[in-house]
Chain A
């Protein structure tokens, strides 16, 4: 149980394009989903928290207009990196939390912007 998937697992795109990453909780309903970013040899950095049906809460320094988050259902959240640039290249990881429960992480999406 407690499986979280992400799609795609890796993506390469040209600078200036937008990329959408999906995060799904497969066997539970996720009241809250979280998005993290991880650069090489660094720890995970929380980007934003999203609750189903409401606007995401972004961490300080994360541009909400650049990283669009939608949490339209209790099993799906999406992160769209708009107008991606090479500095946005990173490992993006989502997690999902059932009501008052712990977080279960997806396998991550590796983004490379050329």
Chain B
């Protein structure tokens, strides 16, 4: 079963930062936080992952709280192409992923 809780939907204005929260209060010490997104009728796309430190790449930033019980994915300048369902998953590296319901992000012009 999924170990994460995300809001079902969010809106964000184009050009603004999109902050997507995820709760994972039962995360274990060896479990990473992974973020993926799925655009309609496509396979999920990897965004970013981290263990306990904040991470940043060309797509997004990942902020993990010190107690690791929650995290936030930040898309710094949302575009219309960022409209998708975003999934937060916690799992040990290389292990099975159990997807929750994700957050449907709509970027509004």
Chain A residues within CB distance 8 Å of chain B: 2, 4, 6, 31-32, 34, 36, 43-46, 49, 91, 93, 95, 97, 99-108, 110
Contact = CB atoms under 8 A, between A and B. Distances in A.
Q: Which of A43, A95, A97, A106 has the most CB of B within 10 A?
A: A43
Given A43-B102, A44-B44, A103-B97, 14 more contacts: A4-B43, A43-B100, A44-B87, A44-B99, A46-B96, A93-B44, A95-B44, A101-B93, A101-B94, A102-B93, A105-B36, A105-B46, A107-B43, A110-B41
A108 to B, nearest CB: 5
A43 B37 CA distance: 11
Contacts of A6: 43
Given A43-B102, A104-B46, A31 B94 contact: yes
Contacts of A4: 43
A32 B93 CA distance: 11
Interface of B: 34, 36, 38, 41-46, 49, 87, 93-94, 96-102
A45 B99 CA distance: 7
B26 to A, nearest CB: 18
B46 A108 contact: no
B47 to A, nearest CB: 10
Contacts of A31: 94
Q: Which of B42, B87, B94, B101 has the most CB of A within 10 A?
A: B94
